Amino acid sequence: MEKCCGDREMKRLRASCNIWILLILITGLASGCVSRYDGEQKLRDLDFTVVDREDEPEELSTMIEGEKGHPFQILYADQGQLYLAEGYGEQPTTGYSVAVRELYETENTIHIRTNLLGPEKGEDIKEITTFPYVVVQLGYIDKDVLFD
């Protein structure tokens, strides 16, 4: 039986294959270790007010009304104030609410994190479609907003 390749070529081929396999493994392992991090550190928590529905600016209320049937995130600025609105779309019953977990500033962004809260145990709920959302108001800051 004749050899198709010399020993030297075979060693090069093996070394090349081993390098490629090693690169693929390293790439795969590294990508499994990546977490969501935007590279910015929190500078400070921001003071805000949760806005009652009757106190929402009229234009913002109109925007929300058009979007409330599905999850939404709306930014609205007016008279030196910034309004951040987040809604969770259609819910099957009463008793749902939205809580603001965090609102803070980094060097380049404002981060807001909200949660949809379901009806509490023992709460009297009705089979009525609702559209829970929250609007927060803070002083205007000229930065991108990230809804987490």
Alpha carbon distances (Å) from 139 to 15, 74, 80, 98, 128: 61, 16, 6, 21, 35
Give me the phi and psi of 16, to 5 degrees please. Answer: -65, -45
Tell the residue number behind the tokens 């709920």, with chain if given.
125
pLDDT at 17: 58
pLDDT at 113: 98
pLDDT at 40: 80
- What tens digit of pLDDT does each residue of 103-141 get? 999 999 999 999 999 999 989 999 999 999 999 999 999
Best CA proximity match to 72, nearest among 88, 92, 91 = 88
Give me the residues of the chain with pLDDT under 70, please.
Answer: 1-7, 9-11, 13-39
pTM for the model: 0.72
pLDDT at 35: 34
